[in-house]
Amino acid sequence: MRLTKLLILAAFSLTTVSISGCFAPEGVLKIGAVAPPIKTRSLRDVGGDMSRLTSYRYPDERMYRYSIDEAVTMGKTVLLEFATPGHCTVCDKQLQMLKAMVTKYSGDVLFLHMDQYMNPQAFKAFRVKGDPWTFIIDKDGIVQFKQAGRILYGELDHHLAKVINAKS
């Protein structure tokens, strides 16, 4: 009986650790903070070779044009997605959804995808552990929204519109 209880407790602990491993909100850059102007690799840095920027199977080049330091100083809203689809199926679905938004917001929002394998320094600068994580940074470089885990199209659309309209 005691061994059974210990096995159940161990299984619960392992499940809790693996679930919480995807989303670790402690210490992550806070809303209202200035986005770190960190140099990350872009298409220019890798000679246009997308496989050196992402583990995503169907990348959209518009999400890899700029380094974070460039994007946050361009006077546009930035949607920054931390996702590593090479080991995260939720990340894969998140990036599929974002690709659908890129065209809708092409004049107002710069979309950036950071893959942990290719730009680990970005994960460190934003203090992100696990993925996916979504950040919306306003035209002044201030974090206005963040969310761990999957976000639905309608939710993200609402938050993007709110940030864009607040700074217009």
Phi, psi (deg, nearest 5) at residue 89: -70, -30
Range of the domain at 127: 26-166
pLDDT of residue 126: 97
Question: Does the pLDDT of residue 22 top 80, yes or no?
Answer: no
pLDDT of residue 106: 87
CATH code: domain of residue 84: 3.40.30.10
CA dihedral 149, 155, 157, 160 (to 10 degrees): -70
**pLDDT 10s digits, 71-86:** 999 999 999 999 999 9
For 155, the token pair is: 């939710």
Q: What's the CA angle centered on 68, arms 66 and 163, to 5 degrees?
A: 100
Tell whether 135 is covered by a domain.
yes
pLDDT of residue 15: 38
- Structural domains of the chain, count: 1
Question: Does the pLDDT of residue 37 top 70, yes or no?
Answer: yes
pLDDT of residue 10: 45
For 44, the token pair is: 């220019």
Tell whether 34 is covered by a domain.
yes
- pTM, rounded to two decimals: 0.83
